[in-house]
């Protein structure tokens, strides 16, 4: 078998695969943030907690009701999205007339409350979520071993990302959404219920976070803190990509995941900070972000 | 160009000239001073010192948020890194406490310069995210670097001899040292706020494009206040390391950044005395709820939500409205 710079290919491709997995989560989560930011102009700090809610949702369905993973994939995201809709209607809505930073502070507080409750009642040690039978095992591709669970995460997030792109860029509903992002007053004047659109958009973005959480459940332990550090990396991803473009968010997410994987092969000590270093470089060269409009 | 101003900062216009301190401020400072002189005999001195460190931290943060209109979500980086450096300097290099604190402060200032010069390239929400991300980078560095002791932190830091003479192992003597640092810091911040520099900051906060059109080099002002705020946060962190004889990952983690935002929000952004009140309330709450585990986090989250929805001016901000004078 060939070697690359003294690195066995199994290691290289293994880490690249891990990078793609992380990239899938970055992509789905930053996509949710971008969709929410586009219309609501707030950064949803609760996103990490809602990702955690998705994983716990799957865990609870399995352990309390015996509902399998495959059902959870479809049931949990709408439920998490629904909790988001309640939050938007009851709390977040009240801040639209204020500086956007208040939205950040409010959602940060909400994240503390949600994570605090789950830590209090489920502990911080993490709960195991056994992968369903279909996701155990894997395929030998010759140059590497591809576990089914990981292939599924990548394929599923790609599908969801592209479906989101399709809805926003190619459907009538998406056209309303894009129009409302540009000028909500005008769109309202055409008889479209903009507040409802805002609520649904927030619910959809939150559902994306919940979906990422369900995907994460079998591969990482289900843990109240699982979203906290991840969301900060996703913020960096969002700064790097800029939130102007849907495809841009997806590309940036997967790309940064790959770069992180490569760093883990060649300079493991740097893997935790490589995304932040890239963020610093992007701020120097193109402050608006790779796909961002200058703001 | 961003056109939105930052109403996150209070709009209360101060009637104070740059020259003198208005009488009611002087009275509050005097009362605070008398109370803090008496405090170690009434309360547990270590507890009061903790409040003082966090109050200075919150005031330093408020300088940036309340007067500069810049929401940094990564102030733990300066607080925590300064605390590591000061602990290391006191323990390994054997520096006297005042030199160790100066070393920590300098490092915080340099870190603030590096992060600040990148972060001010973005505005508003992005600025908050960028500062948070860089602070997380500092956290990962602290987790991996050899001198920070990883998960253990730097323990058993000697309090040492102040100026090589005064033994700070006595809680009472240490208390007055911390009190002196606290008052020096607060008065410096007060001076900055009410200087011409501070007035320009407020102008930038209220309307950045207008400040630019008036010929001010806005970015230079923003960076200066960022570095000042980081350095003063560093003073607080470095002092805390000497008081508790410990520097740990808690001080550099994002939860600490959130706490200082909460203290400032609760007390009153853009008020002189608000952050002190906010810090006292939050530290006291943490002390009483310490045995209830994660209920502290839940309580803090709840205060955040309630404060953002119901009293954005903060406790002191509301008081200031009642008496009709800036506090």
CA A48/CA A38 separation, integer angstroms? 18
The residue ranges of every structural domain in chain A are 25-225
Residues 215-244 of A with CB under 8 A from B: 228-229, 232-233, 235-236, 238-239
Q: Give the SS3 label for residue B154.
A: strand
Residue B36 has pLDDT above 60, yes or no: yes
Is the CB of A273 inside 8 Å of chain B's CB atoms? yes
- Asked whether residue B36 is domain-assigned, the answer is no
Per-residue pLDDT band for A195 (boundaries 50, 70, 90) equals: very high
Q: Give pLDDT, residue A4.
A: 62
Pick from A235, A239, A287: nearest CA to B117: A287
B118, B143, B309 ranked by CB distance to A283: nearest: B118
Contact assessment for residue A206 and residue A53, using Cβ atoms and an 8 Å cutoff: no
Per-residue pLDDT band for B151 (boundaries 50, 70, 90) equals: confident
Residue B249 has pLDDT above 60, yes or no: yes
Contact assessment for residue B50 and residue B202, using Cβ atoms and an 8 Å cutoff: no
Is the CB of B261 inside 8 Å of chain A's CB atoms? yes
Structure tokens at B318: 């509301």
Is residue A156 packed enough to be buried (19+ CB in 10 Å), middle (13-18) or exposed (0-12)? Answer: middle
Per-residue pLDDT band for B10 (boundaries 50, 70, 90) equals: very low
Q: Give pLDDT, residue A295.
A: 47
- Asked whether residue B93 is domain-assigned, the answer is yes
Residue A231 has pLDDT above 60, yes or no: yes
The phi and psi torsions of A142 (rounded to 5 degrees) equal 95, -65
Is residue A259 packed enough to be buried (19+ CB in 10 Å), middle (13-18) or exposed (0-12)? Answer: middle
Residue B177 has pLDDT above 70, yes or no: yes
Please provide the DSSP assignment of B265-314 as one string. Answer: HHH-TT-SSHHHHHHHHHHHHHHHHGGGTTHHHHHHHHHHHHHHHH-TTH
ipTM of this complex: 0.89
Q: Give pLDDT, residue A5.
A: 65
Interface probe, candidates B74, B286, B297, chain A, greatest A C-beta count within 10 A: B297
For residue A110, list chain B residues with Cβ-Cβ distance below 8 A: 301, 304-305
Q: Give the helix/strand (H/E) hosting A146.
A: strand A145-147
- Asked whether residue B324 is domain-assigned, the answer is no
Please state the pTM of the whole predicted model. Answer: 0.90
Q: Give pLDDT, residue A294.
A: 55
Is the CB of A254 inside 8 Å of chain B's CB atoms? no
A99, A106, A119 ranked by CB distance to B6: nearest: A99
> Closest chain B residue to A228 measured between Cα atoms?
B254
Count of domains forming chain B: 1
CA B4/CA B6 separation, integer angstroms? 6
Nearest-Å Rg of the Cα atoms of chain A is 19
Contact assessment for residue B64 and residue B229, using Cβ atoms and an 8 Å cutoff: yes
Is the CB of B118 inside 8 Å of chain A's CB atoms? yes
Is the CB of B161 inside 8 Å of chain A's CB atoms? no
User: How many contacts, defined by CB atoms under 8 Å, are there between A and B?
Assistant: 134
Interface probe, candidates A29, A122, A232, A260, chain B, greatest B C-beta count within 10 A: A232
CA B309/CA B312 separation, integer angstroms? 7
- Chain centroid, CA B35 distance in Å: 21
Contact assessment for residue B32 and residue B39, using Cβ atoms and an 8 Å cutoff: no
Average confidence score pLDDT of chain B:
90
Contact assessment for residue B7 and residue A98, using Cβ atoms and an 8 Å cutoff: yes
Residue A252 has pLDDT above 90, yes or no: yes
Contact assessment for residue B260 and residue B57, using Cβ atoms and an 8 Å cutoff: yes
For residue A117, list chain B residues with Cβ-Cβ distance below 8 A: 294, 298
What average pLDDT score do residues A161-173 get? 93
Report the length, in residues, of chain A: 295
CA dihedral A203, A206, A207, A211 (to 10 degrees): 180
A125-142 pLDDT, tens digit each: 889 898 888 888 888 877
Q: Give the SS3 label for residue B72.
A: coil
Picking from A208-217, A284-293, B170-179, which range would have the lowest pLDDT averaged per residue?
A284-293
Contact assessment for residue A113 and residue A53, using Cβ atoms and an 8 Å cutoff: no
Residue B12 has pLDDT above 80, yes or no: no
CA B105/CA B210 separation, integer angstroms? 34
Q: Give pLDDT, residue B106.
A: 97
Q: Give pLDDT, residue A3.
A: 59
B4, B123, B304 ranked by CB distance to A105: nearest: B304
Residue B17 has pLDDT above 80, yes or no: no
What average pLDDT score do residues B38-59 get? 93
Q: Give pLDDT, residue B243.
A: 94
Residues 186-245 of B with CB under 8 A from A: none
CA B138/CA A168 separation, integer angstroms? 37
Q: Give percent of chain A with pLDDT exceeding 70.
A: 97
> Closest chain B residue to A232 measured between Cα atoms?
B133
Flag if A276 and B125 touch (Cβ within 8 Å).
no
**Sequence-separated (6 or more) residues with CB below 8 Å from residue B144:** A269, A272, B150
Residue B7 has pLDDT above 60, yes or no: no
Strands B166-167 and B161-162 come out as antiparallel
Pick from B179, B237, B202, B168: nearest CA to B48: B179
CA B186/CA A75 separation, integer angstroms? 54
Contact assessment for residue B101 and residue B157, using Cβ atoms and an 8 Å cutoff: no
Per-residue burial over B73-91, b = 16 or more CB atoms within 10 Å of its CB, e = otherwise? bbbbbbbbbbbbbbbbbbb
Flag if B308 and A106 touch (Cβ within 8 Å).
yes
Give the structural domain span for B138: 45-253
Residue A222 has pLDDT above 70, yes or no: yes
CA distances from A67 to A62, A135, B115 (A): 5, 16, 48
Is the CB of B291 inside 8 Å of chain A's CB atoms? no
């Amino acid at each position: 078998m060939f070697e690359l710079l003294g690195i066995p290919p199994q290691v290289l491709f293994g880490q690249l695969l891990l990078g793609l997995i992380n990239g899938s989560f970055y992509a789905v989560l930053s996509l949710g943030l971008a969709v929410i930011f586009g219309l609501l102009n707030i950064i949803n700090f609760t996103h990490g907690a809602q990702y955690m809610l998705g994983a716990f949702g799957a865990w609870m369905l399995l352990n309390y009701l015996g509902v399998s993973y495959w059902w959870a994939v479809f049931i949990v995201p709408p439920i998490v999205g629904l909790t988001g809709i309640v939050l938007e209607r009851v709390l977040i809505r009240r801040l639209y007339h204020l500086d956007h930073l208040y939205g950040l502070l409010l959602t940060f507080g909400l994240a503390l409350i949600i994570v605090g409750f789950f830590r209090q009642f489920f502990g911080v040690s993490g709960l195991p979520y056994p992968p369903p039978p279909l996701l155990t095992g894997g395929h030998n591709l010759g140059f590497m071993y591809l576990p089914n669970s990981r292939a599924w995460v990548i394929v599923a997030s790609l599908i969801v990302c592209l479906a989101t792109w399709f809805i926003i860029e190619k459907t009538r509903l998406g056209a309303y959404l894009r129009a409302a992002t540009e000028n909500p007053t005008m769109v309202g004047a055409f008889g479209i219920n903009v507040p409802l659109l805002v609520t649904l958009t927030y619910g959809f973005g939150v559902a994306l976070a919940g979906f990422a959480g369900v995907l994460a459940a079998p591969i990482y332990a289900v843990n109240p803190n699982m979203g906290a550090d991840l969301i900060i990396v996703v913020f960096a991803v969002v700064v790097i990509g800029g939130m102007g473009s849907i495809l841009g968010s997806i590309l940036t997410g997967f790309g940064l995941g790959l770069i992180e994987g490569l760093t883990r092969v060649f300079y493991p000590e740097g893997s935790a900070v490589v995304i932040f270093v890239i963020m610093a470089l992007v701020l120097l060269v193109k402050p608006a972000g790779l796909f961002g409009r200058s703001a | 160009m961003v056109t939105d101003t930052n109403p996150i900062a209070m709009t209360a216009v101060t009637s104070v000239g740059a020259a003198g301190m208005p009488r009611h401020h002087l009275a509050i400072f005097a009362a605070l001073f008398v109370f803090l002189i008496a405090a170690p005999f009434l309360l547990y001195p270590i507890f009061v010192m903790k409040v003082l460190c966090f109050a200075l931290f919150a005031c330093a943060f408020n300088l940036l948020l309340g007067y500069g209109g810049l929401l940094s979500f990564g102030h733990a980086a300066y607080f925590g890194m300064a605390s590591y450096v000061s602990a290391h300097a006191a323990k390994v290099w054997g520096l006297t406490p005042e030199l160790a604190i100066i070393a920590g402060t300098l490092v915080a200032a340099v870190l603030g310069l590096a992060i600040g010069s990148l972060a001010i390239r973005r505005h508003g929400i992005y600025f908050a995210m960028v500062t948070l991300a860089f602070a997380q980078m500092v956290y990962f560095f602290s987790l991996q670097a050899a001198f920070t002791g990883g998960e253990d932190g730097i323990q058993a830091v000697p309090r040492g001899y102040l100026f090589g003479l005064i033994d700070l192992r006595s809680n009472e003597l240490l208390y007055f040292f911390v009190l002196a640092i606290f008052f020096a810091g607060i008065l410096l911040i007060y001076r900055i706020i009410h200087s011409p520099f501070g007035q320009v900051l407020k102008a930038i906060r209220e309307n950045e494009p207008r400040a630019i059109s008036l010929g001010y080099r806005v970015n230079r002002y923003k960076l200066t206040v960022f570095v000042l705020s980081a350095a003063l946060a560093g003073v607080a962190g470095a002092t805390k390391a000497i008081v508790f004889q410990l520097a740990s990952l808690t001080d550099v983690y994002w939860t600490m950044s959130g706490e200082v935002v909460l203290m400032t929000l609760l007390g009153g952004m853009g008020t002189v005395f608000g952050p002190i009140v906010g810090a006292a309330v939050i530290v006291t709450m943490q002390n009483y709820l310490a045995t209830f585990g994660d209920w502290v986090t839940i309580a803090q989250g709840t205060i955040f939500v309630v404060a953002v929805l119901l009293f954005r001016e903060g406790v002191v901000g509301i008081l200031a409205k009642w008496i009709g004078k800036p506090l």
